[in-house]
A = this chain, B = another copy of it.
Amino acid sequence: MSSDADGAPARPGGRTARNTAAVLDATLAELGDSGYAGLTVERIAARSGVHKATVYRRWGGVDGLLAASLARSREDGWAPRRTGALRGDLAALGHEVVLGFTGSDLRSVPAAAISAAFQSDRAADALRAFFADRHERSAAVVTEAIERGEAPAGTDPCEVVRAAVAPLYYRLCVSREPVAAADVDRAARLAADAAGTGAFVPPAA
C-alpha cells in the first residue's frame, strides 16, 4: 500500500487521494488553457492548492504530471458507444475524437498531449500507453461485430479502430484541414466495409 508524504496510509478519500485528484485535475486544466509549452509546476500547484514541494516530490516535474494525468484517464471507465452495427459504432468513435479537439478551444487536452509528445520522450511514452488502452477498449465494438458476423474471425480489432480514426487525426493534427461529419462517416464506412471483406485479417504467419 502506498503512503502519503507523512507516512500515513493512502486510501480512497484520504488526504493523499484528494491531493492527487486536485493536482492531476489542475494539470489537465492548465494543459487545456496553455498547452504543454505553458505548463509549469508552479501554476499547477497554485491551481490545485497543493504545496509546490509536495508536487515536485511526488511527480518530479511537468513530464511526470502529464504522464500521471494520462495514466489516470485509463481508469476513467470510458467505453465506446454502441449503435448495434459496426459502421455506426466506428462513426460514433470518430465523432467523439473530433469533439475532443473542437469541443473547446484549439488548445484542447488531447491536442496538448499530442503536442507534448513531440517535445518529451516521457510524454510520448505516456501517450503511447494512453492510446494502447483506448484502442483496446474501442476494439470491443469490433469483437462484437465479429460475433454478429459483420467481419470474419481473425480480424484484428485494433487495426479496424485505427483505420476509422486515423483520417480524422490526420486532418486535425497533420494536414490541418477541417473535419466534416461526412469525413467521419466516410472513414467509418471504409473501415467497416474493409473489415467485412476480411481486409484486417493478418496474413497467415
| Interface residues of A, Cβ cutoff 8 Å to B | 35, 37, 111-112, 114-115, 117-119, 124-125, 127-128, 131-132, 135, 159, 162-163, 165-167, 169-171, 173-177, 186, 189-190, 193-194, 199
In the bound complex, residues from chain B placing their C-beta under 8 Å from that of A111 are 118
> Could you tell me if B176 and A119 are in contact, using CB atoms closer than 8 angstroms?
no
A118 to B35: give the CA distance in the assembly, Å.
9
Nearest CB in chain B: distance from A152 CB, A: 15
> What are 24 A-B contacts with C-beta separation under 8 Å?
A35-B119, A37-B119, A111-B118, A114-B173, A115-B115, A117-B176, A118-B118, A127-B176, A128-B175, A128-B176, A131-B176, A132-B175, A135-B175, A162-B170, A162-B171, A162-B175, A163-B190, A166-B167, A166-B169, A169-B173, A170-B170, A189-B199, A190-B190, A193-B194
Closest 8 CB pairs of A and B: A115-B118, A166-B170, A131-B175, A128-B176, A166-B166, A166-B167, A169-B174, A124-B176
In the bound complex, residues from chain B placing their C-beta under 8 Å from that of A176 are 117, 124-125, 127-128, 131
CB-based nearest B residue for A203: B182
Nearest CB in chain B: distance from A130 CB, A: 9
Nearest CB in chain B: distance from A91 CB, A: 15
Copies held by the complex: 2
Nearest CB in chain B: distance from A200 CB, A: 8
- Given known pairs A37-B119, A167-B166, A193-B199, the reply for A174 and B173 (CB within 8 Å) is yes
